[in-house]
């Protein structure tokens, strides 16, 4: 069994046992027992510390899955997305955005700092949130009108927990929710976080109650691109 890349071991797993198990799923090695790490909250993001220690033990738990919006409101989405794997979910402005999984908040941006004259890809998502689920997958939500005041880095969430309201912040011309699926990275990057595995098939299944997990697809992607978190050119990000 190969050694997981350094970026994969994130000190945030020491915050909760759930995230320790989640990290193990994406290394494919079992449960991670975090060593003497701590979590510092600076500018609403988690700074990464020393590696966690890996041990092969029991398999990780699963989480129930649901749509990140109200299914009864009739959300729509397309199976594809421009330039990279993600899904834009369409509902009226102000619709609730909720967590699709059990997990922990790892990124929050409450200020829309996107400037069209600069078009920095790091700010195109406007107001945004990321969650690392207990399944080990990172879920990214962008273009919020507002983020709920209770959603801060380190907070644990459950399926259906309100994250904020759908909007048109960042680089967009209409209200929608940008939804991305990816492995977690040990740095505050944008090119993996925005999405690397197509979400639409999972959304299709969650809408009708099928509990299909993206964890194996994310794990396979991480093995294929071990340096992607450190170098956006590895995946042709721009």
Tell me the DSSP string of 168-195.
--SS-SS-BEEEEEE---SS--STTTT-
Indicate whether 57 and 78 sit together in one domain: no
Does residue 27 fall inside a structural domain? yes
Mean pLDDT of 141-152: 97
Which tens digits make up the pLDDT trace of 27-78? 443 333 232 222 222 233 333 333 333 333 344 557 899 999 999 999 999 8
> What is the C-alpha to C-alpha distance for residues 178 and 198, in angstroms, rounded to an integer?
12
Judged by average pLDDT, the poorest of 118-122, 155-159, 178-182 is: 118-122
pLDDT tier at 82 (50, 70, 90 boundaries)?
Answer: confident
Indicate whether 39 and 93 sit together in one domain: no
Per the structure, the count of domains in the chain is 2
Mean pLDDT score of the chain, rounded to an integer?
Answer: 80
Judged by average pLDDT, the poorest of 60-69, 91-100, 195-204 is: 60-69
Share of the chain above pLDDT 70, in %: 74
Q: For residue 95, which phi and psi values (nearest 5 degrees)?
A: -60, 150
Residues comprising the chain, all counted = 238
Indicate whether 96 and 205 sit together in one domain: yes
> What is the C-alpha to C-alpha distance for residues 177 and 71, in angstroms, rounded to an integer?
14
Q: Quick one: pLDDT at residue 80? A: 82
**Whole-structure pTM value:** 0.76
Indicate whether 112 and 186 sit together in one domain: yes
Burial of 172 (0-12, 13-18, 19+ CB in 10 A): middle
Where do runs of H (alpha helix) occur along the chain?
17-27, 200-207, 215-224
Does residue 28 fall inside a structural domain? yes
Helix pair angle (215-224, 17-27), 10° resolution: 60
Q: Does the pLDDT at position 3 exceed 50?
A: no
> What is the C-alpha to C-alpha distance for residues 51 and 37, in angstroms, rounded to an integer?
8
Locus of tokens 């978190």:
229
> What is the C-alpha to C-alpha distance for residues 7 and 188, in angstroms, rounded to an integer?
11
Residue 29 per-residue DSSP state = S
Does residue 235 fall inside a structural domain? no
> What is the C-alpha to C-alpha distance for residues 230 and 39, in angstroms, rounded to an integer?
21
Q: Does the pLDDT at position 203 exceed 80?
A: yes
Residue 99 per-residue DSSP state = -
Indicate whether 93 and 153 sit together in one domain: yes
Does residue 99 fall inside a structural domain? yes
CATH number, domain of 95, equals: 2.70.70.10
Indicate whether 54 and 80 sit together in one domain: no
Q: Does the pLDDT at position 91 exceed 80?
A: yes
Indicate whether 114 and 146 sit together in one domain: yes
Q: Quick one: pLDDT at residue 132? A: 97
Indicate whether 78 and 191 sit together in one domain: yes
Indicate whether 32 and 125 sit together in one domain: no
Q: Which domain holds residue 200?
A: 71-210
């Amino acid at each position: 069994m190969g050694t997981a890349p350094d970026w994969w071991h994130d000190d945030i797993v020491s915050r909760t046992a759930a995230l320790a198990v989640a990290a193990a799923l994406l290394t494919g090695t079992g449960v991670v027992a975090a060593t003497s790490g701590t979590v510092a909250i600076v500018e609403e993001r988690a700074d990464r510390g020393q590696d966690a220690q890996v041990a092969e033990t029991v398999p990780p738990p699963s989480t129930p899955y649901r749509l990140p919006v109200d299914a009864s409101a009739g959300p729509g989405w397309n199976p594809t997305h421009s330039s990279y794997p993600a899904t834009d979910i369409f509902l009226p402005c102000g619709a609730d955005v909720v967590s699709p999984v059990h997990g922990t908040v790892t990124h929050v941006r409450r200020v829309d700092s996107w400037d069209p004259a600069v078009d920095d890809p790091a700010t195109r998502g406007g107001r945004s949130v990321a969650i690392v689920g207990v399944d080990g997958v990172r879920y990214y939500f962008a273009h919020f009108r507002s983020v709920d005041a209770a959603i801060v880095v380190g907070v644990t969430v459950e399926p259906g927990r309100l994250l904020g309201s759908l909007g048109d912040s960042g680089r967009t011309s209409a209200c929608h929710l940008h939804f991305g699926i990816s492995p977690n990275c040990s740095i505050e990057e944008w090119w993996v976080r925005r999405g690397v595995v197509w979400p639409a098939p999972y959304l299709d299944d969650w809408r009708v109650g099928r509990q299909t997990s993206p964890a194996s697809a994310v794990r396979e992607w991480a093995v294929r691109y071990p340096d992607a978190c450190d170098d956006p050119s590895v995946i042709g990000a721009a």
